[in-house]
Chains A and B, each alone.
Chain A
């Protein structure tokens, strides 16, 4: 009963989730071209595209991509043979288990008249496929946890995938092992299949002896060595009633291995009905995995093949623009979080100093998705995404390396656009406004500066490079300001720039943080180093301005947090 209820409930959630996720492909709007094309026209364009493909020469492309890229995953094999092996192990082992074992009533029993899950080859294959999956999981864990090679960033979604698969596999093996040793399970089978009555004690004893000796059952009544005569009788009874649908459990080698190990505690386990509990755990884990699949990393089982097929067929300039937009929207879901982009990322190295995962393309994509579905993000999160997004140097490496060809660069430029629309543009442009609001220089104009208390911490913050403290030797000659090409570009530079370079150096000597980081001069500095080159006192003016920009951005970051 519970089995049926959970099965149908999880199937219903799975189907609804799948429909919802696929509908997103027709609803996400990425880029300006997507505006004004309705969801319904995108769906009908997709339907037209699919039908016309099926009746055209493109069907060959479709079949080729399906065989080589979807089934055999040639793109992954070319890149990294070990990873391909791990992936193909998990994927093929699990699919075969699902088809032969999970859906046995629907598939295996229909194809084979003689099907019993306890009969060979099915009994052996179940364990064999399970072993293949476990080997794959082993590779995946090794790669994520132990391997010293450039590593992808593992997050909850990756560990969830590994954990749910492991729970399904381990509970399955444990179920098999505890059933092999279970005396109560043995008795159920005897009642059901042997045709022996309670009064036939000698026969019952002989059969039990045979199963204890040969099939690993742990009996509370008998153990140890048996007479050959008893075993021969037991064997005869076994062949008559049992052998037709039960192979030797040794063929289920993983379960049998476990059964051997737990023999000493087999009786208490049986009394506690552990194999029943494991059965619940096993099918509940499977159904949970099924229901949650559309929302987990496993959705890539659908989205990645779908994207690979669509990508092979839909081309810019030749296909319906509505389908191009749908293809772009699919990209966001096609990501398998493999982390190749992050390994290749040119600025990922900064993560150790700027601990913001949004720097990494594989994580930035999650932010992209959240913004696309219209999630309301907190200013704090937006500030973090803004920082991550703008550290990107647009070097295109993530896009070049994506194994399934997601155009990440295109997504990033749209992420920048979305962020700008929300009021989070490039930090340097943003800082000019945001800092201006915090440290309005006009507030300082009319009143004399108070020299106490000074912000001592502020002066200290500048010595992260010894050079920045060089401002203390400034004697106010104004050379820096006089040679500055930015200052020279304006009729009235103070109006545009706020404080000029030499004045900023004065502020530092006076430890006036608000004045020093509130000046527009910081954000309009060309970093051409002419001022620094011309300072007779060796003040490293440009370097100081660089560090003040760092401090200003840090101030804004702390404020957002």
Chain B
């Protein structure tokens, strides 16, 4: 099993631990990764500005993976959703696809649509499987209550992204339960973290983050887990900002799923970059069984 790993713009600079933990976990589970240094922006930030520029940007990455004959593994939910949307638009609109291919052709690339785009969580769930994951765990968690944050752009629009059931998804919960932790039910589970509005309307963005933190906490969560750099930064770095700006301390630490999984597989904290999170999560190993 081999994928071209797509890191995007954020992870290498602002969330190195996501990359570190993902690589470590995937290696343990026998998934090999190829790096394509020519990858560019996934197109997500361009969507507000220019649809064609977004599709072109997305398609170039897909064409690069296609050239290497590899499927793409995205760590970011927004990146994943963007790729799926670009694929959809090019399927629906032949003219757009031709135009994109004309531009890509200038550097000898072509988008045919042969590359499959997958998110880290769907690779873990569908390609590796919870059975293999359970088998790789050495010290499962005990008495740990986790709130799963699905992330909008992986779930919706469901007909296009096809990640999981958009109304009652269970993929992420099953992955969490495989670690021995309990995935709690919480009303705002499927709502947005607020990240897309950060920078244009901070107050509104923080409102959503706070609502989710309060809701998950009320439902009994000890940690919140994510599979997207935008959501993670929102629940980690921005939670700290909210504490500072609004004096509201919800203290619900967020952990990236590969960090959560890696720890119970016996991978050490440094490799998983646990110390790189803004809110201290190193205490989570108290929940590991003996």
Contacts and interface: CB of A to CB of B under 8 A. Distances in A.
Interface of A: 148, 150, 345-350, 352-354, 387, 391, 393-396, 426-429, 432, 464-467, 485-486, 489, 523-524, 526-530, 532-533, 540, 542-543, 546-547, 549-550, 553
Taking residues whose C-beta sits less than 8 angstroms from the other chain, chain B's interface range is: 35 or more
Contacts of A347: 40-41, 45-46, 57
B191 A528 contact: yes
Interface in B47-70: 47-53, 56-57, 60
B204 A486 contact: yes
B273 interface: no
B155 to A, nearest CB: 8
Given A348-B40, A428-B199, 11 more contacts: A346-B41, A350-B56, A485-B191, A485-B208, A527-B153, A527-B196, A528-B156, A529-B157, A530-B156, A533-B156, A542-B157
B56 A465 contact: no
B212 to A, nearest CB: 10
B196 A526 contact: yes
Pairs A-B, 9 closest by C-beta atoms: A395-B9, A529-B156, A353-B53, A528-B192, A393-B9, A528-B152, A350-B53, A346-B41, A396-B13
B96 interface: yes
B201 A524 contact: yes
Given A523-B200, A526-B194, A550-B48, A532 B157 contact: yes
Nearest to B89: A465
Contacts, number: 135
Contacts of A532: 156-157
B126 interface: no
A485 B192 contact: yes
Contacts of B45: 347, 391, 393
B200 A489 contact: no
B157 A547 contact: no
Given A391-B46, A489-B204, A528-B156, A352 B103 contact: yes
A542 B49 CA distance: 14
B129 interface: no
Contacts of A395: 8-10, 12-13, 41
A352 to B, nearest CB: 5
Q: Which of B12, B96, B152, B191 has the most chain A CB within a 10 Å cutoff?
A: B152
Interface string B140-158: 0000000000001101111
Contacts of B92: 465-467
Interface in B1-60: 8-10, 12-13, 38, 40-41, 45-53, 56-57, 60
A344 B284 CA distance: 39
User: In terms of DSSP, what is the predominant structure of the interface of chain A?
Assistant: helix
A485 B205 CA distance: 11
Given A396-B13, A528-B156, A529-B153, A428 B52 contact: no
Contacts of B157: 529, 532-533, 540, 542-543
Contacts of A464: 51-52, 96
A352 B56 contact: yes
12 contacts: A150-B107, A347-B41, A349-B41, A394-B9, A395-B41, A489-B208, A524-B197, A528-B192, A546-B47, A550-B49, A553-B49, A553-B50
Nearest to A532: B157
A391 B49 contact: yes
B207 interface: yes
A176 B96 CA distance: 58
Nearest to A530: B156
A125 to B, nearest CB: 43
Q: Which of B49, B50, B108 has the most chain A CB within a 10 Å cutoff?
A: B49
A550 B41 contact: no
Q: Which of A345, A394, A426, A526 has the most chain B CB within a 10 Å cutoff?
A: A526
A530 B208 CA distance: 14
Given A464-B51, A529-B156, A540-B157, A426 B9 contact: no
A530 B200 CA distance: 20
Contacts of B12: 395-396
Contacts of B158: 533
A347 B54 CA distance: 10
A524 B197 CA distance: 7
B201 A349 contact: no
Contacts of B96: 464-465
Contacts of A543: 157
B43 to A, nearest CB: 9
Nearest to A489: B207
A358 to B, nearest CB: 13
Contacts of B10: 393, 395
Contacts of B48: 427-428, 546, 549-550, 553
A542 to B, nearest CB: 7
A464 B97 CA distance: 12
Given A346-B41, A396-B12, A533-B158, A526 B50 contact: no
Nearest to B161: A529
Interface string B117-153: 0000000000000000000000000000000000011
B251 to A, nearest CB: 23
Nearest to A553: B49
Nearest to A527: B196
Contacts of B155: 529
A348 B41 CA distance: 9
Contacts of B197: 524, 526
Contacts of B57: 347, 349-350
Nearest to A533: B156
A349 to B, nearest CB: 5
Given A391-B46, A529-B153, A529-B157, A465 B51 contact: yes
A394 B204 CA distance: 23
A428 B47 CA distance: 12
A395 B204 CA distance: 25
A549 B47 CA distance: 9
Q: Which of A353, A354, A464, A543 has the most chain B CB within a 10 Å cutoff?
A: A353
A532 B41 CA distance: 25
A464 B201 CA distance: 28
A550 B50 contact: yes
A354 B196 contact: no
B192 A346 contact: no
Given A346-B9, A393-B41, A428 B191 contact: no
Nearest to A347: B41
Given A394-B9, A395-B12, A528-B156, A349 B40 contact: yes
A144 to B, nearest CB: 16
A466 B51 CA distance: 12
B109 to A, nearest CB: 10
Given A393-B45, A467-B92, A547 B156 contact: no
Contact of A428 (B9, B50, B200): B200
A348 B47 CA distance: 15
A349 B49 contact: no
Contacts of A527: 47, 152-153, 196
Contact of B49 (A354, A394, A485, A540): A354
A536 to B, nearest CB: 14
Contacts of A393: 9-10, 41, 45
Interface in B159-203: 166, 191-192, 194, 196-197, 199-201
Nearest to B48: A549
Interface string B100-112: 0001000110000
B192 A526 contact: yes
A112 B159 CA distance: 84
Contacts of B40: 345-349
B60 A349 contact: yes
Contacts of A428: 48, 199-200
A189 B48 CA distance: 75
